[in-house]
Chain A
Amino acid sequence: MRVIVDGTPVTVAADSSLLDATRAAGAEVPSLCADPRLAPYGSCRTCMVSIEGTDGPVPACTTPAAEGGVVRTDDPVALRTARLALELIVGQLPVSALDQPPERSELVRACLELGIERSRFRGERAAERDDSHPYVEYDAALCIACARCVRICDELQGTFALAMVGRGADTVLAPGSGGPWSESDCVSCGACVDSCPSGALSEIGLSDPRPIERTTTTTCGYCGVGCTLDVHTRDGQVAAIRPNRAAPVNRGHACVKGRFAHGFVRSRDRLTTPLIRRDGALVETDWEDALGHVAVELRRIGDRYGPDAIAAISSARGTNEENYLMEKLMRVAIGTNNVDNCARICHAPSAAGLVASFGLSGGTNPFEDFDRAGVFLLCGSNPTEAHPVVGARIKQRVIAGAGLVVVDPRRTELADYADVHLRPRPGTNVAVFNGLAGVLIDEGYIDDPFIAARTEGFDALRELVADYSPQRVEEISGVSSSDLRRAAALYGGGDHRAIVWGLGVTEHAHGTDGVRALCNLATLTGSVGTADGCGANPLRGQNNVQGASDMGAMPDILPGYQSVADAEVASRFGDAWGIRIRPERGLRIPEMFDAAVDGRLKALIVFGEDIAQTDPDTAHVKAAIDACELVVSQEIFLSATASLADVVLPAAAFLEKDGTFTNFDRRVQRVRPALDPPGAARPDFEIIRDLGAELGTDLGCSTPAAAFAEMASLTPTFAGISHERLDRDGPIAWPCRSPDDPGERALYRERFETPSGRARLTTVPYAPPGEAPDREFPLLLVTGRRLEHYNAGTMTRRTRNLELVPEELLELHPDDACALGVGGGDRVRIASRRGEIAAIADVTDRVSPGQAFIGFHFPEAPANLLTSQHGDEVTSCPEYKVTAVRITLDG
């Protein structure tokens, strides 16, 4: 559609407003109540323009553009109207409202654009500040009642925590039921603060008038969503972090972690100098001494016990380049395949299951496909807490009408929005998924032509799932047969079907089976590798779970999931690195602990993981650490693991790093340093490189960009990606095979990457979980993540998120609480076959009777003292989601 703005013809999309047209023409039209992410509202009336042939000015934001429309932004009546509206608005605010720097206040910019220095009207209101929330500051005196905050909370975040109250001139924002902000339903995503045009909503770093010195665009280091953030810094500190509006993944949205929880980075207890254990105590030393000691010890141990007595745990928190360098260090400088990363303990089953079903180890479809999904099957995932930006997007889509089936023993927030909520007993996913497959087949929801043309294994699957009648599934899982049928009908009968899962599918004794059985549902319905389908996507737990594995920080693969056992691959890498790649698989993380306890492993390098808090069965992990002759911890804080290590190497946090992360939908995204590391701390990239040098090996890769380039030159699926290209074009999804390949956003449109080119329907029978309750330990404990904290809590507990959630809570069903004589707020002891911890009881029907839920963010309630060594029989991923426990009232 063509519109003429101030004489300039512009072309705009069919559903554009006049405001869009003026923006396209580059005209300066203030619009205080407009945010491109929100439906137009038409409250401030500062965007008045004239249209030829219409009587009087119109607001540009709410007026649809029409073909051939002639718009003037300099119409005198329109400008007078806009100025007067703005003058009335300014007249209600304290004079100081216009003292803010223009770059931080749309209101001030609007006044500059319309030439208003002061208002002729005076109507200042008495209003109290609300500083009850740790991050959001609310000054009602500055509220201009544009309701952007309310609307963004509704329309983007979906929390509905805010509303305007009062009417007429008294109209003003109020959170919740009208009490303090901290008591509202706010989830601290910060969207309201970002959208507020007047400064009524602000945050400490931005209400400080001192100028921002530098803004660095980087990728969030919390969960696997991969939000692009703009990090504003001054005086070597983070002033504020704001989500990047142009980012393809988060589109200007973020969550309480990425947006606000950055205080840890300048926490006083950051590690700033290397530590070495002398006479039993960790003492400060310098890099030369620390690295020298590590090198000497590694050489000694290697010489004495062989290279396989040394292992490294690489980090899904680190960059791709660091992970590449770590696996290269182990294979080249040490000569072992004993390198693994913490994807092992979260999404290794996703990788294995996806490879088994479709061929590649990544989610099949891009995040933007969620926007067109007609139905979601969300399994074992609580994205509004663990992946908030994804959770918000799913919620909006569902509110707008998309179907939602939630499979989760716990009634998560999205379960409240679901059409069907299946609550299987923990550990029975495979039976439920097989049952769903059976109903899909029996009720005719399957895509026969797709199955015939593009899959294999259908007959065997049909035979298998015949044994999983809804009645039998009900017996195994507790999911009623009618709910199972409804869920199958909703998923099978929907269009643009999307399957999304999380750790509730993977962290089981049969996690890989669960992933495969779940992928079968997408395959049966033709929802993967097709134009219609929205595929099957795991929500990765950490920022670089995808990338750490992609980079080959695993005992059996090299970058790009190229097998060490493949002779062609081994010779390609061996030639490039000047060594021989050993064809046998090295140790997985749980096997490393076992090997250490057995005396086969003597040295362990732990990069950015707090194994003594986050890995299962802490007692066993500590025994492994004790048994090693050398434990090296690369850390940013003195974690539980670091405090047990022999050498602690102070590392950089993600805000201090250069490199790339790969998010849950396979997008490789740039990480750029916004700050220098404190003291003598160094990026892990340098630490690993320096350690290589101490060991006498030049790992090459002088910079992260060079490391990525070297990796890409050896890895066809990454061949087209480089730092230079990412800086120029933005995020790129792998596979990307050449510099002109845009990257495959949706996989398998032509063929699946299996040997036959067909998707495999796999037959996985149900088997019971590794851990079962009994009389002594009658309840099932599930562990998981909470919105405000992140994994070990190392970072988030060093921010004001601690004020939001100060301690660990154990969720317990009212029936069980009653039987145990436990009330909400009581302190309880939780014992498993391995250990005992204490926490505060939260009595809630969000958990099922007979089950309990706990986070693992607080060292005071270390849930992994309880969890077991049972693991996925394919990948060794721990069975975190099923622990038999006994709960008693403390004291």
Chain B
Amino acid sequence: MPGRTVTELERRYGRRGADVLGALRDVVAATGRIEPADVDRIAAELRLPRAHVNGAASFYADLAPTPRGRRHVRVCAGTACFAASAGTHLDAVAVALGAPVGGVSEDGGVSVQPVHCLGYCYGGPAALDDEQPCAGADLIDQLTGGADPRDPEIPVAVAVEVPEPIVLAGVAGTGPEPWEVWEDIVRGGAHDRVSREVKASGLRGRGGAGFPAAVKWGSAAEAPGDGDRYLICNGDEGDPGSFVDRLLMERDPHRVLAGMGLAALAAGATRGIVYVRSEYPRARDALRTAVAEARAGGQLGADLFGTGTGFDVEVFEGAGSYVAGEETSLIHSIEGLRGEVAARPPYPTEHGYLHRPTVVNNVETLAAVPWIVARGGAAYAQLGVGGSRGTKVVCLNERFRNPGAYEVELGTPLRRIFEELGGGPRDGSVVRSIQVGGPLGGFVDARDLDTPLSFEALREIGADLGHGSLIVLDDRVDRAMLERHFWRFAASESCGTCAPCRLGTQRGLERTAGRGDPDAATAFEEMLEAMERGSLCAFGRSVPPVVRSIERVYGAAP
């Protein structure tokens, strides 16, 4: 991959903890745009090649060379906000603020940038006015001074089947404290207890791929080589529709950190990094505060409880890229490189951050670990169905009567989530489809509601557990609007590494905009097949199934 040798260079010569994206972000904040001289300066300071700093600067939405206004408004273009406004809010914001979408007003006063997404799916449409969240049906008023900015809290509930909240233990205020088992485990040197309990729990990654957590830790622990090993918490919850990671990072950050610590012991990692997306400034701040508290409290540091065991965590802020949620891309991002996906093998567990063994776990995965270690893996494994054990926090969007985050047992039928927890569609909304599992999950409809919420069952109906979101789209959104929305997302977030995704998403977008070549229409089905079979990562491979699921629910194209 480009950057392979740069990573070696960085490992051997780079400044420890050099934050390329942070340095670039500071430039954007200070001057509105990155000039070649800024690239040269940052490259020299951080001892990195300027071409690669330039490559990174051009990759991330937060840093890209579109000019910035003095006031920068990031407007959520995620699916839930799209569903909330029936696709109208983005243009409306642009008109109201007098700046084109993706551009700056003539007087340079304000710029509008679409982003995927801000995690206000339960109360959108939403925007970040600089770093001030604004969300609600009156978004325009909030942005133009007609109403106070609103930052609605995430409604939270735990379904009755779950004996006590697990992931939401802290948010719900019952269940074990985050650091409850930490000292005992560290003092007792009982690192294998963590892997044993988590193995017994059957916990699988909640980021979408569903890889068994204990197996991943074991691979990293057994990877050869000396030097640092890393545990990275993936807080790049880019999936429009999901806000569980934001919820956990903002409201129970210590549970995330404690989960990281336990996972790190199991994986043999000595250093932790939380990667928080820049669209979540509150989560970033909450984590920074929690890290400081944990250091002060002795839970994090170079010598924990006098045992000589060390584990510390740094908080790293992303710079605007959906694909950065993919683990190889996320690692590149922390290294200050372009967030390109790399072919695997080699896997990060052997060849990760700075080419050291690295575990990347999702926030929700890690937040389950303190409970599992405290209560035992068996207790966790009692919940669930088939290969899908434990609980999942599902996120319901603003079109539901009762939007919010619900911790449910895996295996719970969609219908129960949809009807009993979500209360069905809000008044006046007629459900047209439900997207399950984020932007790369699938669209389902009423026919599919008896499907249980599990990795396996959702795949069977062409959806995906993904981040566990359910987005209701009502009948104000038609097929063409939805397709355009989806292809725009795909084209704007494709990292560009592999040809089928890089070019297929762009050609697909042009087609929905009616700009595609007539010739290309004949090749469209073949193109979808090539994207699905030939793309480098799950992003490109997932685009065609989503397109087909739209077709399935909305009927064939006219």
A binds B: yes
Interface hits, A38-54 → B, CB 8 Å: 39-46, 48
Tell me whether A162 is interfacial, beta carbon within 8 Å. yes
Give B195 Cβ to nearest chain A Cβ, in Å: 27
Q: What residues of A have a CB within 8 angstroms of the CB of B137 in the complex?
A: none
Per-residue CB contact flags for chain A residues 168-201 toward chain B (1 = under 8 Å, else 0) read: 1111001111110000110000000000000000
Tell me whether B430 is interfacial, beta carbon within 8 Å. no
Tell me whether B50 is interfacial, beta carbon within 8 Å. yes
Bound-complex Cα distance A59 to B537 (A): 12
Give A564 Cβ to nearest chain B Cβ, in Å: 51
Structural contact, A121 and B58, CB atoms closer than 8 A: no
Tell me whether A231 is interfacial, beta carbon within 8 Å. no
Bound-complex Cα distance A795 to B502 (A): 46
Give A40 Cβ to nearest chain B Cβ, in Å: 7
Tell me whether A77 is interfacial, beta carbon within 8 Å. yes
Query: Which of A48, A62, A120 has the most chain B CB atoms inside 10 A of its CB?
Result: A120
Query: Which of A151, A171, A175, A184 has the most chain B CB atoms inside 10 A of its CB?
Result: A171
Structural contact, B13 and A417, CB atoms closer than 8 A: yes
Structural contact, A40 and B343, CB atoms closer than 8 A: yes
Chain A interfacial residues counted at CB < 8 A: 64
Structural contact, A184 and B51, CB atoms closer than 8 A: yes
Given contacts A59-B343, A89-B499, A91-B503, contact A162 B51 (CB under 8 A): yes
Given contacts A43-B499, A89-B499, A164-B2, contact A121 B523 (CB under 8 A): yes
Give B32 Cβ to nearest chain A Cβ, in Å: 17
Tell me whether A92 is interfacial, beta carbon within 8 Å. yes
Structural contact, B498 and A171, CB atoms closer than 8 A: no
Q: What residues of B have a CB within 8 angstroms of the CB of A64 in the complex?
A: 345
Tell me whether A160 is interfacial, beta carbon within 8 Å. yes
Given contacts A81-B530, A176-B51, contact A399 B12 (CB under 8 A): yes
Tell me whether B49 is interfacial, beta carbon within 8 Å. yes
Tell me whether B219 is interfacial, beta carbon within 8 Å. no
Tell me whether B201 is interfacial, beta carbon within 8 Å. no
Structural contact, B8 and A400, CB atoms closer than 8 A: yes
Closest to B43 in A: A177
Structural contact, B2 and A171, CB atoms closer than 8 A: no
Among the 9-residue stretches B82-90, B415-423, B487-495, B546-554, the one with 4 or more Cβ atoms under 8 Å from chain A is B487-495
Cβ-defined partner of A169 (8 Å) among B8, B59, B496 = B496
Structural contact, B50 and A177, CB atoms closer than 8 A: yes
Structural contact, A85 and B52, CB atoms closer than 8 A: no
Structural contact, B492 and A84, CB atoms closer than 8 A: no
Tell me whether A150 is interfacial, beta carbon within 8 Å. yes
Structural contact, B503 and A169, CB atoms closer than 8 A: yes
Bound-complex Cα distance A163 to B529 (A): 30
Structural contact, A167 and B496, CB atoms closer than 8 A: yes
Q: What residues of A have a CB within 8 angstroms of the CB of B53 in the complex?
A: 177
Given contacts A122-B520, A169-B502, A401-B12, contact A154 B4 (CB under 8 A): yes
Give B276 Cβ to nearest chain A Cβ, in Å: 21
Tell me whether B153 is interfacial, beta carbon within 8 Å. no
Cβ-defined partner of A163 (8 Å) among B55, B504, B530 = B55
Query: Which of A56, A167, A175, A184 has the most chain B CB atoms inside 10 A of its CB?
Result: A167
Given contacts A88-B499, A121-B523, A168-B493, contact A41 B1 (CB under 8 A): yes
Q: What residues of B have a CB within 8 angstroms of the CB of A158 in the complex?
A: 5
Given contacts A44-B499, A84-B500, contact A57 B519 (CB under 8 A): no
Per-residue CB contact flags for chain A residues 20-46 toward chain B (1 = under 8 Å, else 0) read: 000000000000000000011111111
Q: What residues of A have a CB within 8 angstroms of the CB of B519 in the complex?
A: 120-122
Bound-complex Cα distance A9 to B215 (A): 35
Give A125 Cβ to nearest chain B Cβ, in Å: 10
Bound-complex Cα distance A511 to B340 (A): 51
Structural contact, B520 and A85, CB atoms closer than 8 A: no
Q: What residues of B have a CB within 8 angstroms of the CB of A43 in the complex?
A: 497-499, 536
Interface hits, B36-54 → A, CB 8 Å: 36-37, 39-40, 43, 49-54
Q: What residues of B have a CB within 8 angstroms of the CB of A48 in the complex?
A: 533-534
Given contacts A59-B343, A81-B529, A87-B523, contact A121 B503 (CB under 8 A): yes
Cβ-defined partner of B58 (8 Å) among A44, A46, A62, A165 = A165
Tell me whether A414 is interfacial, beta carbon within 8 Å. no
Per-residue CB contact flags for chain A residues 79-121 toward chain B (1 = under 8 Å, else 0) read: 0111011111101100000000000000000000000000011
Q: What residues of A have a CB within 8 angstroms of the CB of B505 in the complex?
A: 168-169
Cβ-defined partner of A185 (8 Å) among B50, B321, B520 = B50
Bound-complex Cα distance A42 to B52 (A): 20
10 smallest beta-carbon distances between A and B, as pairs:
A163-B55, A160-B49, A171-B496, A84-B530, A169-B506, A62-B343, A42-B343, A177-B36, A165-B58, A88-B503
Q: Could you list 15 A-B pairs, sorted by A, with CB under 8 Å?
A: A39-B1, A48-B533, A82-B534, A84-B530, A85-B530, A120-B523, A121-B519, A121-B520, A147-B2, A164-B340, A165-B58, A167-B59, A167-B494, A175-B51, A184-B51
